[in-house]
Amino acid sequence: MKKMLFAFVFMCLAASVASATTCTGETAVAAGSGGALTASLTNQGVSSSGSPAYSSTANLDSCAYTGDTLNPFGGLTFIYQVSAGAAPSNDIHSITFGDFGSALLSGGQSQVGCTGCTAAIDFGSNGTGGFFFDFFPVIPVGGQSDYLIVYTSQTSITTGVASLHDTSVTGLAADLVSTVPEPGSLALVGPGLIGLAGLLRRKLLQA
Whether pLDDT at 20 is above 60? no
In a domain, 148, yes or no: yes
In a domain, 170, yes or no: yes
Domain region containing 163: 19-182
In a domain, 99, yes or no: yes
Q: Which alpha helices (H) appear in 32-181, and where do they start and end?
A: none
In a domain, 187, yes or no: no
pLDDT tens digit string along 176-194?
998 865 443 334 334 444 5
Q: How many C-beta atoms lie closer than 10 Å to residue 146's C-beta?
A: 22
Strands of the 92-97 sheet, one edge to the other: 120-125, 131-139, 92-97, 158-166, 169-177
φ and ψ at 57, to 5 degrees?
-95, 135
Identify the bridge partners of residue 139 per DSSP, sorted by sequence position: 92
CA–CA dist 158, 167 (Å, integer):
28
Find all residues with CB under 8 Å of 108, minimum gap 6, and list them.
Answer: 123, 149, 151
Banded pLDDT at 156 (limits 50, 70, 90)? very high
Banded pLDDT at 68 (limits 50, 70, 90)? very high
In a domain, 198, yes or no: no
Q: 3-state class of 28 per DSSP?
A: helix
Work out the average pLDDT over 97-103.
Answer: 90
The confidence score (pLDDT) of residue 74 equals 96
Q: What angle do CA 176, 177, 182 make, to 5 degrees?
A: 130
**DSSP code of 117?**
P
| 17-21, 49-53, 78-82, 85-89: segment of lowest average pLDDT | 17-21
pLDDT above 70: percentage of residues in the chain: 74
pLDDT tens digit string along 135-154?
988 888 889 999 999 999 99
In a domain, 102, yes or no: yes
In a domain, 128, yes or no: yes
Preceding peptide of 52 cis, ω within 30°: yes
Identify the sign of the CA torsion 30, 36, 38, 42. Answer: positive
Q: What is the pTM of this model?
A: 0.78
Whether pLDDT at 33 is above 60? yes
Identify the bridge partners of residue 63 per DSSP, sorted by sequence position: 40, 79
In a domain, 12, yes or no: no
Q: Domain count of the chain?
A: 1
Q: How many C-beta atoms lie closer than 10 Å to residue 19's C-beta?
A: 9
Whether pLDDT at 63 is above 90? yes
